[in-house]
Amino acid sequence: MIREISLMTARNPGMERDMEGLQSVQVNRSAAERRAATLATRRTVKKEWQAAWLLRALSCIDLTTLAGDDTPGNVRRLCAKARRPVRDDILKALGVAHLNITVGAVCVYHEMVETAVQALRGSGIPVAAVSTGFPAGLSPFALRVQEIRQSVDAGAEEIDIVISRRHVLQADWNALYDEVAAFRTACGGAHMKTILATGELGTLRNVAKASQVCMMAGADFIKTSTGKESMNATLPVSLVMARCIRDYHERTGYQVGFKPAGGIRTAKQSLDWLVLMKEELGIDWLRPSLFRIGASSLLADIERQLEHHVTGRYAALHHQPMA
């Protein structure tokens, strides 16, 4: 089993903007792609170790519903699954029933925050709200700030904000810094995850610069995608962002979290991202306070794989409770 680690992480206070240093940021795309391609092939996790890693991945999931047909009933059902993500008989067979394993958070639109908070009361599972005109981020600035405050007032402990992609595409890094800093102020005590929408930023160098600016402005997490873009989380993009996090930690001493989102649907994929975090950032980043996976269907496949580990048989995916 992966050893337990302290759950306390000092929040990133941000730093003064350093736009001169930003100009020196470079990314070797070919090298990044080669390195990412080896992550899934150089390391394998089998048998009880795979089960342990899958339980770790499960504990880092932001269990998400961001659909136009969300209802209070759907959200309450999702929250019930968040409380008990794996069947009791499977956890007992694995010898971990006493650990009270839950997902990392439940992520919803603002309209469903109060419902989720009520459904999760007493569980210790935070509610994350997508905000700032998610997913496009093109609503008026004052409304985006107001949306953050309203979600915090409704009980959200985490806010997933989206940046204005035009600031990156126009290389207006001061505007991006000011925007993210304003969002961080509006979050107050709530942790802020900053969504870069990397599939719309054009180049890996833009991804790296945007990552650095958002951390300078006080982001507690940087996140790949909204899940609504045509290209979401990929290993090369995640590698670049993880190395930016490492550079920022070496520079300031503060640990910033990472959240890939969009397209991570299988247990095998979740292991690839855990390997990336361990090899690039170290074991500290294998915990919910510094690593999350934004997903909706991933949990069902993890539960299916854990059932196979216990019984030796694969159940049909539709036999798993809805995640």
Catalytic: 47?
no
**Catalytic pick from 81, 193, 223, 278?**
223
Comparing C-alpha atoms, which of 22, 10, 13 is closest to residue 208? Answer: 22
**Catalytic pick from 62, 160, 220, 272?**
160
**Catalytic pick from 81, 193, 259, 278?**
259
* Burial per residue of 282-294, b for 16 or more beta-carbon CB atoms within 10 angstroms, e otherwise: eebbbbbbbbbbb
Comparing C-alpha atoms, which of 156, 155, 161, 64 is closest to residue 108? Answer: 64
Catalytic: 160?
yes
How far apart (Å, rounded) are the C-alpha atoms in residues 21 and 17? 9
Comparing C-alpha atoms, which of 183, 306, 294 is closest to residue 229? Answer: 294
Catalytic: 223?
yes
First to last CA, the chain: 24
> ∠ at Cα 236 (230, 237), nearest 5°?
55
322: left (phi over 0), alpha (psi -120 to 50) or beta: beta
In a 3-state reduction of DSSP, which class is residue 34? helix
**Structural contact between residues 3 and 184, judged by C-beta atoms closer than 8 angstroms:** no
Residue 145 structure tokens? 């700030």
Comparing C-alpha atoms, which of 3, 6, 93 is closest to residue 49? Answer: 3
Give the residue numbers marked as catalytic.
Answer: 160, 223, 259
